[in-house]
């Protein structure tokens, strides 16, 4: 490829953000406090040096690959990116400071960069060397321009150089192509926007201006979270994302092992401990994130969108996402925009207010330049028949627009395992909140409530302490508090009811509706502001009609006109509402005063969370005695929660009808779907308050033979049924080692302390896979009981014991320590030194970035091997004599 043509593709909007990622920001720069007074060495500005570099060598290589992606064909990109990465890395040893660098011509600065790594060009072809020099010339302009913009001293003392660099970068169109370090060739300056004859308009200027505004808009649109019931009388429903966001954790879909390192094993083995989402996402450009309702899937995408728009990303993500343009695409809105949109329709599908003002072809140009961050939210909210079309479109997009980053979310059972794996997607799962996460959420919730100076300020501390204790010791509450939505609801109800909490899921939802529909309206205004004052029950009845329409029509939102028409049809049957206003008035009242509905875009409405929609739809279906509707759709994954809630709401004879119907043959249902229906019947048993014992025995009889999983995926899938499955699993004493491992997977997928009793039957197994799986599940259960009944009995030969919090570490110390430990949570060196039995430890596996130098390892005299997780930055200051193994 002609070097001039290649360099011309490196437009400022692409190169500038990537160059900024090479250097520390002013806030993080140790030299920032003196930057206004004197020059700063270039070596101190780069982000890939020091004790805790923000960019690793791998990050630098990925950044170089992104840089050259628009400029060269795929086959030439890798060697060129490698050469650039080595050249950029040499800046860490540069003797120049920023002031003297800016005084150089860009061509001379590029020549100095090449001279620092003279052997780099030897591995390139003649064409490769020409490309390398052309691209480096472009980079030199933007690096020097960055120096002028980060330092007031440089800009003030070198005004002509600063102005000239800005003009060069703005008009840059490639290099002279001679490979000799000369100045790049630039577009002719055009006064007053008048184009010379035969010239084409420059699209970059309007694109840059629009992108700047778009980044601000993204922050405004998505920088908020709903935290239920912080202070319904005096506070807004949403809170700033950066203040309320609780770091989510992910598990790999194809997990690492919790036994010895993967290279020493023949199979992937038990799952590795969850890691922070930014660590799990680092280095991935195609990801499918699975998570249950309320687990934070949308929140994660909002956080990525806002962080990218602000260019305020954690170091693990900055190299990959800095400078990208985020598009947060909610799948539920596709149907109202003529199906899956094309790039020009992205903003409309997002509900972006400036959609009509985007420059023609802008989104297409962003994707073709490989600068997009595509956040596709909620595959499960597409009708089942449309999901394959969505997968086909994703395949087309990723093929047509290489270099972009894709993050797709879905509920776990909505699409098959490895649904997008053939298209290069890695699967992650949002992990249930750990005990520490739940405690942190409860504390943060009450701190936020206290900041509002509420009337019950003096009681909030007591509420916080009693709720923390209740969640820890009450099994039913512990089972409910597994995701941010449920934790928020528990906090709000606990406060609203002055320390009393319902014990079951149905009771929790009923209480939540009561709180949102009654306390909210009562406390926000002493008198109605819209001439409508509805009791709780009529509100619920009307909301049920909307939820039922969405259920029957397979939608997660509905048009405003459809909502009004639906209410109009049902108002005559609800006199309390009909006499207070027409359907339009009632719709506005439900929208503005219930806290359950929202207008996501002009003309469309949905529920604030899918959980409430499903629960209200189940209530409506049970009231209509429409169990045939439920049974006709029981094999569709999006109906699972509705059916489970319907069982909780139904009378005993209706429960029996539903469960018998799930077991019975059903026309048009495939064998795999029939199996799914039977498992759903088993999952429903725990929700049935009263049930004919014969029906219960029949369900157990039909499903008992299905409780012998044959694959790891099948074993984990049984976990969604809940604790009831423990009653149907076979006796582990009769299982082979391979079967015992699968049974351990199933039992440890059930986050309930009831599982411990079953797992005691597996604790004496010598097979490493079984022992490793039991060890890796510790964080899900009561620390002391699990340590006493499981951990203490596991043979420690070649077994790594994961510790995710100080309580687990001290429990191991009381057991005498272990020779192999896996650090799977946030610790300080002092905590580890205090908790580890140094006389026993010989191997230490880091699955979590401690973020500190490793010289503290001198306190562990018998330590022989340090293993580093594959996605962690390489630690520094490791004492001599310790072998480092990178996994």
- pTM exceeding the 0.85 threshold for the entire prediction: no
pLDDT tens, position by position, 767-821? 999 999 999 999 888 899 999 999 999 999 999 999 988 999 999 999 999 999 9
Same domain for 251 and 166, yes or no, is no
| Whether the predicted pLDDT of 729 surpasses 50 | yes
Same domain for 270 and 383, yes or no, is yes
Instruction: Write the burial class of residue 769 (CB in 10 Å: 0-12 exposed, 13-18 middle, 19+ buried).
Output: buried
Task: Kindly report the three-state secondary structure assignment for every residue of 374-389.
Answer: EEEECHHHCCHHHHHH
Contacts of 855 by beta carbon, 8 Å cutoff, 6+ apart: 877, 878, 879
Cα 873 to Cα 53: distance, rounded to the nearest angstrom: 9
Question: Would you say residue 169 lies in a domain?
Answer: yes
Question: Would you say residue 609 lies in a domain?
Answer: no
Cα 409 to Cα 291: distance, rounded to the nearest angstrom: 8
Q: Which of 145, 168, 189 is the last residue of a domain?
A: 189
Q: Which segment of 142-151, 190-199, 582-591, 854-863 scores lowest on mean pLDDT?
A: 190-199
pLDDT computed for residue 2 by the predictor: 65
Q: Which of 381, 407, 431 is the last residue of a domain?
A: 431
| Whether the predicted pLDDT of 864 surpasses 50 | yes
Whole domain around residue 57: which residue ranges? 3-189
Mean pLDDT of the region 92-119: 83
Cα 700 to Cα 682: distance, rounded to the nearest angstrom: 7
pLDDT tens, position by position, 447-482? 878 876 677 888 889 999 999 888 877 766 776 777
pLDDT computed for residue 34 by the predictor: 40
Same domain for 255 and 341, yes or no, is yes
Contact 168, 186 (CB under 8 A): yes
Run of H or E residues at 793:
none
Same domain for 175 and 311, yes or no, is no
Instruction: Write the burial class of residue 880 (CB in 10 Å: 0-12 exposed, 13-18 middle, 19+ buried).
Output: exposed
pLDDT tens, position by position, 63-84? 888 888 877 777 777 888 888 8
Same domain for 61 and 144, yes or no, is yes
Closest of 209, 211, 207, 191 to residue 199, by C-alpha: 191
Domain tally, the chain: 2
Same domain for 122 and 251, yes or no, is no
Contact 149, 141 (CB under 8 A): no
As a whole number, the mean pLDDT across the chain is 81
Question: Would you say residue 621 lies in a domain?
Answer: no
C-alpha dihedral, 388 to 392 to 393 to 396, nearest 10°: 170
Same domain for 164 and 52, yes or no, is yes
Same domain for 115 and 250, yes or no, is no
Same domain for 150 and 269, yes or no, is no
pLDDT tens, position by position, 505-515? 788 788 878 77
- Better pLDDT: 539 or 74: 539
Question: Would you say residue 530 lies in a domain?
Answer: no
Cα 150 to Cα 139: distance, rounded to the nearest angstrom: 17
Write the DSSP string, 735-772. Answer: --HHHHHHHHHHHHTS-STHHHHHHTTTTT---HHHHH
Same domain for 185 and 280, yes or no, is no
**Residue-wise over 264-290: b if at least 16 C-beta within 10 A, else e?**
eeeeebbbbbbbbbbbbbbbbbbbbbb
pLDDT tens, position by position, 731-762? 898 899 999 999 999 999 887 888 999 999 99
Question: Would you say residue 226 lies in a domain?
Answer: no
Backbone angles phi, psi at 585, to 5 degrees: -65, -45
Contacts of 640 by beta carbon, 8 Å cutoff, 6+ apart: 413, 680, 683
The CATH number linked to 292 is 3.40.50.300
Q: Which of 407, 431, 455 is the last residue of a domain?
A: 431
Same domain for 260 and 373, yes or no, is yes
Question: Would you say residue 839 lies in a domain?
Answer: no
Per-residue pLDDT band at 244 (split at 50, 70, 90): low
Question: Would you say residue 36 lies in a domain?
Answer: yes
Q: How far is CA 22 from the centre of its chain?
A: 25
Question: Would you say residue 866 lies in a domain?
Answer: no
Rounded percentage of the chain residues whose pLDDT exceeds 90: 29
| Whether the predicted pLDDT of 238 surpasses 60 | no
Contacts of 70 by beta carbon, 8 Å cutoff, 6+ apart: 9, 10, 11, 14, 368, 369, 370, 403
Mean pLDDT of the region 594-601: 76
Same domain for 307 and 385, yes or no, is yes
Q: Provide the pairing of β-strand 426-430 with 249-252.
A: antiparallel
Cα 347 to Cα 217: distance, rounded to the nearest angstrom: 11
């Amino acid at each position: 490829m002609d070097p001039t043509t290649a360099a011309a593709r490196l437009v400022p909007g692409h190169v500038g953000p990537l160059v900024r990622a090479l250097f520390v920001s002013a806030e993080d720069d140790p030299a920032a406090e003196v930057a206004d007074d004197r020059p700063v060495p270039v070596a101190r500005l780069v982000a890939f040096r020091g004790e805790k570099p923000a960019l690793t060598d791998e990050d630098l290589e990925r950044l170089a690959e992104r840089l050259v992606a628009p400029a060269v064909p795929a086959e030439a990109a890798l060697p060129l990116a490698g050469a650039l990465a080595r050249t950029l890395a040499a800046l860490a040893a540069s003797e120049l400071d920023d002031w003297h660098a800016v005084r150089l011509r860009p061509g001379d600065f590029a020549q100095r960069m090449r001279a620092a790594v003279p052997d780099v060009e030897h591995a390139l072809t003649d064409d490769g060397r020409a490309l390398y020099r052309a691209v480096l010339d472009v980079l030199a302009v933007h690096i020097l321009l960055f120096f002028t913009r980060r330092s007031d001293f440089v800009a003030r003392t070198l005004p002509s150089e600063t102005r000239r660099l800005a003009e060069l970068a703005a008009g840059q169109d490639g290099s002279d192509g001679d490979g000799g370090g000369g100045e790049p060739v630039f577009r002719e300056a055009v006064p007053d926007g008048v184009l010379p004859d035969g010239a084409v308009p420059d699209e970059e200027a309007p694109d840059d201006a629009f992108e700047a505004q778009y980044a601000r808009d993204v922050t405004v649109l998505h920088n908020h979270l709903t935290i239920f019931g912080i202070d319904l009388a005096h506070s807004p429903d949403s809170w700033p994302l950066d203040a309320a966001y609780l770091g989510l954790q992910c598990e790999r879909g194809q997990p690492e092992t919790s036994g010895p390192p993967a290279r020493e094993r023949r199979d992937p083995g038990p799952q590795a401990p969850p890691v922070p989402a930014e660590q799990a996402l680092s280095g991935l450009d195609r990801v499918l994130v699975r998570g249950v309702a309320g687990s934070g899937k949308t929140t994660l995408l909002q956080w990525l969108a806002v962080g990218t728009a602000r260019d305020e990303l954690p170091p693990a993500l900055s190299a990959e996402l800095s400078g990208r343009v985020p598009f947060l695409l909610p799948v539920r809105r596709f149907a109202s925009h003529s199906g899956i949109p094309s790039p020009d329709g992205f903003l409309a599908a997002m509900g972006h207010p400036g959609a009509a003002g985007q420059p023609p072809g802008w989104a297409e140009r962003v994707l073709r330049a490989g600068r997009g961050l595509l956040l596709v939210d909620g595959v499960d909210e597409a009708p089942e028949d449309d999901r394959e079309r969505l997968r086909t479109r994703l395949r087309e997009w990723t093929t047509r627009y290489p270099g972009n980053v894709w993050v797709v979310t879905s509920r776990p059972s909505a699409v098959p395992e490895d649904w997008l794996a053939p298209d290069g997607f890695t699967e992650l799962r949002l992990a249930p909140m750990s005990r520490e996460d739940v405690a942190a959420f409860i504390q943060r919730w009450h701190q936020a409530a206290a900041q509002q100076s509420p009337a019950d300020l003096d009681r909030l501390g007591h509420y916080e302490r009693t709720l923390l204790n209740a969640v820890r010791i009450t099994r039913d509450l512990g089972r409910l508090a597994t995701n941010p939505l449920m934790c928020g609801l528990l906090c709000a109800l606990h406060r609203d009811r002055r320390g009393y909490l319902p014990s079951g899921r149905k009771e929790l939802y009923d209480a939540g509706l009561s709180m949102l529909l009654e306390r909210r309206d009562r406390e926000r205004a002493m008198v109605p502001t819209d001439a409508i004052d509805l009791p709780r029950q009529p509100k619920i009845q009307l909301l049920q009609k909307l939820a039922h329409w969405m259920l029957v029509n397979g939608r997660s939102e509905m048009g405003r006109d459809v909502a009004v028409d639906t209410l109009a049809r049902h108002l005559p049957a609800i006199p309390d509402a009909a006499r207070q206003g027409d359907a339009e008035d009632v719709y506005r009242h439900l929208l503005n005063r219930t806290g359950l509905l929202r207008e996501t875009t002009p003309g469309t409405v949905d529920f604030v969370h899918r959980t409430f929609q499903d629960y209200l739809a189940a209530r409506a279906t049970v009231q209509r005695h429409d169990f045939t509707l439920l049974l006709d759709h029981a094999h569709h994954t999006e109906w699972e929660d509705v059916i489970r809630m319907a069982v909780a709401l139904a009378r005993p004879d209706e429960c029996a009808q539903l469960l018998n119907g799930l077991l019975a043959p059903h026309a048009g249902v495939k064998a795999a779907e029939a199996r799914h229906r039977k498992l759903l019947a088993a999952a429903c048993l725990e929700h049935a308050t009263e049930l004919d014992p014969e029906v219960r025995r029949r369900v157990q009889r039909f499903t008992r033979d299905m409780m012998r999983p044959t694959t790891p995926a099948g074993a984990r899938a049984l976990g969604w049924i809940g604790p009831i499955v423990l009653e149907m699993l076979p006796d582990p004493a009769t299982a082979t080692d391979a079967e015992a491992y699968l049974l351990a997977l199933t039992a440890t997928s059930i986050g309930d302390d009831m599982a411990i009793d079953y797992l005691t039957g597996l604790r004496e197994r010598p097979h490493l896979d079984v022992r490793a799986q039991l060890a890796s599940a510790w964080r899900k259960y009561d620390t002391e009981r699990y340590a006493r009944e499981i951990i203490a009995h596991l043979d420690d030969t070649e077994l790594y014991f994961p510790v995710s919090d100080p309580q687990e570490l001290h429990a191991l110390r009381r057991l005498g320590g272990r020779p192999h430990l896996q650090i799977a949570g946030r610790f300080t060196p002092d905590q580890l030194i205090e908790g580890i039995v140094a006389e026993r430890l010989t191997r230490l596996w880091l699955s979590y970035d401690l973020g500190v130098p490793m010289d503290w390892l001198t306190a562990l005299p018998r330590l022989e091997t340090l293993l580093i997780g594959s996605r962690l930055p390489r630690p520094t200051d490791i004492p001599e004599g310790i072998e480092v193994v990178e996994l």
